[in-house]
Amino acid sequence: MTREPDRVVVLSGGVGGARFAAGMAMVVPPRALTVIVNVGDDFEPFGLRVCPDLDTVCYTLAGLENPETGWGRRDETWHALETIETLGGPTWFRLGDRDLGLHLERTRRLREGQSLSRVTLDLCRALGVDVHVLPATDDPVRTWVHTDQGWLPFQEYFVRHRWQPRVLGLTYRGAAEARPAAGVLEALREADLVFLAPSNPWLSLDPILAIPGVRDALRPQRAVAVSPFIGGQAVKGPAAKIAHELGLLASPLGLARYYQDILRGLVIDQVDAALAPRITHETGVRVYITDTWMRGPEGRARVAQSAWMFARALARA
Ligand code: FO1
């Protein structure tokens, strides 16, 4: 009797999270994979609902993503943005023509009263994605960054100011009142394996975990995380910079401490191998050491496969 393939759930945000999710989609059957995605980066330029982390996951799973940036579409054109520039409008957040088509259609469906999770599922299916892509919540949750230049909404901090302002604090506005999207808690409770993707913990994972019920559903499961830090640096983006600014450790040891209550395992890079005994001794979190650089599709599949094998071994232990 063939056992139902492992039901796998990945919590994801940002480009690294999308690449890991795409790697996992090469390891398990798409129908066995659910990706729960951060919505704290969402915002409404030109009155359109833009959901960067949902779109980055969907485009990457569909093979449509811009391979250089990781966000937006490959083979993109920029005529709409050129017009906006000529007219003197804001162009600091670069919206390509094909990407705009998705924002227009998503906004139309949301205005018709459809939920973000329903719209996301339909748009992903339309782009040929069979993996179950779910926003963490259908309610409004927005990451705001307290910086030495005042409070900034996420995209102003991340894109307009290129994440250079010094971070003094973070808040996920609306998270306390938000409800997990339909299917999120069920997916977490019924999962055989749960992974925290190598996303920015403070900007991508915490806004998901801040939604009431999510962390409680994760605790009995205990996830396996892939460290976004290698040798004290983030692979991409401000995760290490923010860690230093908030007095946290930008290392696998720091991550294991930070997520100790929801982790059973942590995949770390061989550069950080010396930390492994201390991580397990101090936090009880088991460690798997490998090359965690995801270079291209085969790199993503290799890291995902390693994490999957490690998580299955821990689940059997
Ligand atoms: N990131 C940038 O650094 N510059 C941009 O102009 C930009 C545009 C953009 C458009 C659509 C989209 O889905 C994502 C976009 N991103 C851009 C990435 C975005 O800031 C994400 O929130 C980050 O990837 C972090 O998750």
The domains of the chain are located at 8-41+129-316
Nearest CA to ligand 1 atom 16: 71
- Output the CA 254–ligand 1 centroid distance in Å: 27
How many residues are listed for the chain in this entry?
A: 317
Residue whose CB lies within 8 A of the most ligand 1 atoms, among 66, 155, 156, 159, for a mutation test: 159
- Output the CA 17–ligand 1 centroid distance in Å: 14
The C-alpha atoms of residue 108 and residue 111 are separated, in whole angstroms, by 5
Nearest CA to ligand 1 atom 4: 159
Global pTM value: 0.97
- For ligand 1, whether the C-beta of 52 sits within 6 Å is yes
User: Coil, strand or helix: which one is 132?
Assistant: strand
Maximum alpha-carbon separation in the chain = 65
Tokens (6 digits) for 308: 């999957």
The C-alpha atoms of residue 128 and residue 60 are separated, in whole angstroms, by 11
CB 190 within 8 A of CB 22: no
- For ligand 1, whether the C-beta of 15 sits within 6 Å is yes
Q: Per residue of the chain (317 residues), what is the pLDDT tens digit?
A: 446 668 999 999 999 999 999 999 999 999 999 999 999 999 999 999 999 999 999 999 999 999 999 999 999 999 999 999 999 999 999 999 999 999 999 999 999 999 999 999 999 999 999 999 999 999 999 999 999 999 999 999 999 999 999 999 999 999 999 999 999 999 999 999 999 999 999 999 999 999 999 999 999 989 999 999 999 999 989 999 999 999 999 999 999 999 999 999 999 999 999 999 999 999 999 999 999 999 999 999 999 999 999 999 999 88
User: Coil, strand or helix: which one is 11?
Assistant: strand
78: left (phi over 0), alpha (psi -120 to 50) or beta: alpha
CB 253 within 8 A of CB 316: no
CA Rg value for the chain: 19
| Burial status of residue 169 (CB atoms within 10 A of its CB: 0-12, 13-18, 19 or more) | exposed
Cα distances from 114 to residues 57, 109, 117, 139, in angstroms, run 20, 6, 8, 12
CATH for 8-41+129-316? Answer: 3.40.50.10680
Strands (DSSP E) found in 190-247? 193-196, 223-226, 229-230, 233-234
The C-alpha atoms of residue 134 and residue 179 are separated, in whole angstroms, by 13
- For ligand 1, whether the C-beta of 189 sits within 6 Å is no
Tokens (6 digits) for 189: 């409770």
Tokens (6 digits) for 22: 């795409």
The C-alpha atoms of residue 222 and residue 201 are separated, in whole angstroms, by 16
The C-alpha atoms of residue 229 and residue 246 are separated, in whole angstroms, by 16
Residue whose CB lies within 8 A of the most ligand 1 atoms, among 15, 46, 57, 93, for a mutation test: 93
The C-alpha atoms of residue 263 and residue 40 are separated, in whole angstroms, by 22
